């Protein structure tokens, strides 16, 4: 295949926020996770070397729109607003929003969150949705969702709202918290590219569909979500 043009010749630069296990997280000096493996496989198919840039979640889209990174790969939910700023690949995973509370909490579902303090990662769909549902005053924004979880265990907030697979990961890692059964919102994750960059978008979609038919995509997801 003909080489696609990227922001740095020979490289495919992915921008992410590595605070979102199992999609992207720090392990020692490395950044690992589903998105990393997917982009690594995409880069290989395009004959490029993967570079990873780790920024605050709400700085991801600007990195792509300003031409500093090729791909936003961050368990990023496709939304109408974000589509104004980036073009999205075919979706590669789906998620819901889960509510995390302390083990001894009496909160049972979304309706119980009225008047409570809800922790979220700044700029995420959890932030946007809880702000819409419960009002700005109810929402406590953190730069990392793990900081929200820590505030929860310390009793500083009543609940954390975060994407389902990340929530399940936190429940495994952090003693004393549980996820409520009632989930809400259906979201799809996709890779973002600079608006109008159809050459790169088509290359990414082509690589994704190959990875799907090779069974590689499922393999990556299973590897990171098995118990």
Which one of residues 6, 125, 130, 165 is an interface residue with ligand ARG (CB under 6 A)? 125
Which value, to the nearest 10 degrees, does the dihedral of the CA atoms of residues 84, 124, 32, 45 take? -20
What tokens appear for 12 in the block?
A: 């495919």
Cis peptide before 22 (omega within 30 of 0): yes
Cβ proximity to ligand ARG, 96 vs 102, nearer residue? 96
The residue within the footprint of ligand ARG, chosen from 7, 12, 13, 20 (CB under 6 A), is 20
CB of 208 to ligand ARG, least distance (A): 18
Binders in 92-121 for ligand ARG, by CB under 6 A: 121
| Token pair in block for residue 46 | 């395009």
Q: Does 89 bind ligand ARG (CB under 6 A)?
A: no
**Does 21 interact with ligand ARG (rule: CB under 6 A)?**
no
Query: Residue with structure tokens 């992207």?
Result: 24
- Is 170 a residue that touches ligand ARG (CB under 6 A)? no
Q: Which stretch binds ligand ARG (CB under 6 A): 73-81, 105-113, 208-216, 217-225?
A: 73-81
Using CB under 6 A, which of 6, 15, 21, 24 touches ligand ARG?
24
List, in order, residues 6 or more apart from 93 with CB less than 8 Å away.
34, 75, 188, 189, 221
* Least CB distance to ligand ARG at residue 24 (A): 5
Of the candidates 77, 89, 169, 205, which one interacts with ligand ARG according to CB under 6 A? 77
Distances (CA, A) of 91 to 77, 183, 190: 9, 20, 4
Candidate residues 149, 163, 193, 217; the one interacting with ligand ARG per rule CB under 6 A: 163
The minimum distance between CB 121 and ligand ARG, in angstroms, equals 6
Q: How far apart are CA 194 and CA 132, in angstroms?
A: 28
E strand or H helix at 35:
helix 34-45
SS3 content of the chain, % helix, strand, coil (to 5): 40, 30, 35
Distance CA 203, CA 109 (A): 42
Give the binding site for ligand ARG (CB under 6 A). 16-17, 19-20, 24, 57, 74-77, 121, 124-125, 163, 187
């Amino acid at each position: 295949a003909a080489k696609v043009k990227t922001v740095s010749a020979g490289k495919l630069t992915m921008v992410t926020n590595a605070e979102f296990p199992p999609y992207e997280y720090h392990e020692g000096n490395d950044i690992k996770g589903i998105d990393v493996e997917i982009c690594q496989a995409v880069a290989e198919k395009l004959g490029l070397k993967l570079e990873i840039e780790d920024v605050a979640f709400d700085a991801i889209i600007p990195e792509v729109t300003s031409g500093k990174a090729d791909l936003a790969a961050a368990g990023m939910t496709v939304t109408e607003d974000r589509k104004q700023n980036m073009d999205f690949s075919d979706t590669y995973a789906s998620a819901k929003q889960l509510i995390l509370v302390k083990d001894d909490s009496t909160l049972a579902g979304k309706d119980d969150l009225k008047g409570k303090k809800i922790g979220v990662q700044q700029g995420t769909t959890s932030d946007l949705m809880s702000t819409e549902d419960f009002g700005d005053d109810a929402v406590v924004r953190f730069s990392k969702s793990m900081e929200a979880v820590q505030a929860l265990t310390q009793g500083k907030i009543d609940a954390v709202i975060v994407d389902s697979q990340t929530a399940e990961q936190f429940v495994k890692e952090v003693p004393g918290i549980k996820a409520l059964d009632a989930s809400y919102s259906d979201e799809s994750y996709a890779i973002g590219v600079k608006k109008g960059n159809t050459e790169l978008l088509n290359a990414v979609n082509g690589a994704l569909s190959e990875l799907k038919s090779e069974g590689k995509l499922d393999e990556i997801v299973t590897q990171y979500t098995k118990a």
